[in-house]
């Protein structure tokens, strides 16, 4: 009998080891960057840009660029011969359009002036209006993602801006490749879906839970570890910050980074926000603090408790730094909150005391905030995870003033002291629009929030 038990245990061990080895093999091979890939931009800043591309054969890559498509006077080579190429151009002029082309030492094609260009970031005091495109959970290639893309482009064509590019920033709220973030899935959902946009816009992503199922994400993207795009250096590509004109963006990792109060990410976040002097503060992350869609933020076990940790540990830091807008995905629908503050519990604890403003004439659309960055002066929370698929859910979170099962993406315009956000569905309709304007005469709710928290702590102590 003991002999058979030992044999059975050995068999079980063999199966477990074989499965683990096979799983590692699947992850490894699915994460390899193979195949031809057209040029795409990364880490576009005031004075630098990284251009990446792939070839089927080993080549010495060449990047040529200049101020005119007919005169690419600057030439850079890759460090070595290979199939995956990455070249960084430095000492560029701020707020300037350059044209570029990639190839190898045997030659290159002339750039297409319609697509093969990049525009460096403006200086901080430029006062330049900024247009941001935000996609969320775009990892399912097909009709929906193509329709969402084209709806955005058509809306922009109908609403152009004088003397400005069609886009200035492009953000992803995570889950760029379903179901497991493999190289071929990134190719279909990202590179085949947005080929022309990738050639002239630098994508700034946050790490989604499906992106984390392979190792492809960090192989594909070059993200700022040393504060190259602004803010305090994070020392990691998992989370980072971006400065553009009068906007400071923090791109947080709610998938893989520790979100305990003493964690590296939250310590970095505090330091980064303490040094921020920009007029607008926007945070982007994958897991929403409030949602009653595909995921339920009230259920601690949902998504491994990440939504709960965002709400409990991350939001107090953001709100104390006067955050204006918090963007997230993960739930495959659109939800948008009141201008609100200091709600760190589940939905049953939300009350009118958390609503900073109902907007001009109580329409929940035109909000006012203090001109200066004052703690706990209210933020709008948006879940926009429907850029490639739409799922169902109760959509009844009391913090949300708008909830809908619609595919779409966000266009955010920031001009001086006014921010306007529009949710544009896959048919090109503006299904939700709100604005925040900063001006004198609007007080902060800081003292109310602190008083409420102190009262709750006192009641808790008396109960004990």
Residue pLDDT, tens place only, 106-116: 888 899 999 99
Tokens (6 digits) for 44: 């576009």
**Averaged pLDDT for residues 407-431:** 98
Q: Which residues contact 438 (CB under 8 A, 6 or more apart)?
A: 279, 368, 369, 370, 371, 417, 418
Q: The pTM is what? A: 0.92
Gap between the Cα atoms of 20 and 427, Å rounded: 45
* E strands, 295-338, in order: 325-328, 334-337
Gap between the Cα atoms of 416 and 247, Å rounded: 10
Kindly report which listed range (25-34, 217-226, 239-248) carries the lowest average pLDDT score. 25-34
Kindly report which listed range (61-70, 97-106, 449-458) carries the lowest average pLDDT score. 449-458
Does the pLDDT value for residue 446 go beyond 60?
no
Q: What is the DSSP letter of 32?
A: -
Q: Which residues contact 462 (CB under 8 A, 6 or more apart)?
A: none
* E strands, 26-73, in order: 37-42, 49-66
Q: What are phi and psi of 68, to 5 degrees?
A: -135, 140
Q: Of 138, 214, 202, whose CA–CA distance to 175 is shortest?
A: 138
Helix (H) or strand (E) holding 448: helix 446-463
Residue pLDDT, tens place only, 30-43: 567 899 999 999 99
CB of 410 closer than 8 Å to CB of 170: no
Strands 418-425 and 408-415: antiparallel
Which domains, ranges and CATH numbers included, belong to the chain?
Answer: 37-119 (2.60.40.10), 125-455 (3.60.21.10)
Gap between the Cα atoms of 317 and 336, Å rounded: 20
Q: Which residues contact 5 (CB under 8 A, 6 or more apart)?
A: none
Terminal CA-CA length for the chain: 57
Does the pLDDT value for residue 126 go beyond 90?
no
**Averaged pLDDT for residues 11-25:** 48
The confidence band for 29, taking pLDDT boundaries of 50, 70 and 90, is very low
The confidence band for 17, taking pLDDT boundaries of 50, 70 and 90, is very low
Helix (H) or strand (E) holding 283: strand 280-284
Residue pLDDT, tens place only, 290-302: 999 999 999 999 9
Q: What pLDDT shows up at residue 441?
A: 72
């Amino acid at each position: 009998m003991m002999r058979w038990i030992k044999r059975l245990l050995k068999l079980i061990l063999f199966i477990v080891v074989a499965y683990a080895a096979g799983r590692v093999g699947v992850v490894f091979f699915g994460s390899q960057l193979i195949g031809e890939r057209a040029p795409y931009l990364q880490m576009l800043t005031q004075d630098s840009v990284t251009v990446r591309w792939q070839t089927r054969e080993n080549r010495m890559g060449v990047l040529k660029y200049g101020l005119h498509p007919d005169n690419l006077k600057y030439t850079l080579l890759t460090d070595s011969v290979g199939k995956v190429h990455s070249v960084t151009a430095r000492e560029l002029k701020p707020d300037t359009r350059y044209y570029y082309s990639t190839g190898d030492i045997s030659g290159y094609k002339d750039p297409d002036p319609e697509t093969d260009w990049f525009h460096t970031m403006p200086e901080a005091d430029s006062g330049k209006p900024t247009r941001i495109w935000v996609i969320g959970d775009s990892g399912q290639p097909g009709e929906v993602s193509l329709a969402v893309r084209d709806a955005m482009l058509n809306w922009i064509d109908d609403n152009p801006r004088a003397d400005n590019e069609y886009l200035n920033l492009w953000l992803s709220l995570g889950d760029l490749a379903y179901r497991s973030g493999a190289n071929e899935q990134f190719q279909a959902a990202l590179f085949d879906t947005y080929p022309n946009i990738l050639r002239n816009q630098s994508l700034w992503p946050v790490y989604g839970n499906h992106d984390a199922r392979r190792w492809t994400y960090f192989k594909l993207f070059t993200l700022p570890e040393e504060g190259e795009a602004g803010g305090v250096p994070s020392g990691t590509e998992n989370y980072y910050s971006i400065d553009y004109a009068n906007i400071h963006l923090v791109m947080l990792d709610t998938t893989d980074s520790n979100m305990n109060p003493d964690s590296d990410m939250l310590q970095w976040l505090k330091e980064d926000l303490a040094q921020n002097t920009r007029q607008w503060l926007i945070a982007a992350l994958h897991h929403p603090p409030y949602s009653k869609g595909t995921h339920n933020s009230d259920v601690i076990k949902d998504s491994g408790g990440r939504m709960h940790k965002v709400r409990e540990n991350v939001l107090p830091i953001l709100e104390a730094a006067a955050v204006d807008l918090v963007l997230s995905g993960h739930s495959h629908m659109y939800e948008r909150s009141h201008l609100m503050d200091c709600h760190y519990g589940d939905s049953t604890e939300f009350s009118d005391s958390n609503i900073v403003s109902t907007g001009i004439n109580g329409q929940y659309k035109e909000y006012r905030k203090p001109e200066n960055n004052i703690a706990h002066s209210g933020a709008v929370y948006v879940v926009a995870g429907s850029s490639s698929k739409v799922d169902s859910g109760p959509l009844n979170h009391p913090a949300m003033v708008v909830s809908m099962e619609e595919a779409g993406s966000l266009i955010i315009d920031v001009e001086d002291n006014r921010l306007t956000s529009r949710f544009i569905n896959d048919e090109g309709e503006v299904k939700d629009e709100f604005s925040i304007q900063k001006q004198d005469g609007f007080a902060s709710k800081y003292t109310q929030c602190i008083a409420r928290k102190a009262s709750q702590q006192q009641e808790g102590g008396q109960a004990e």
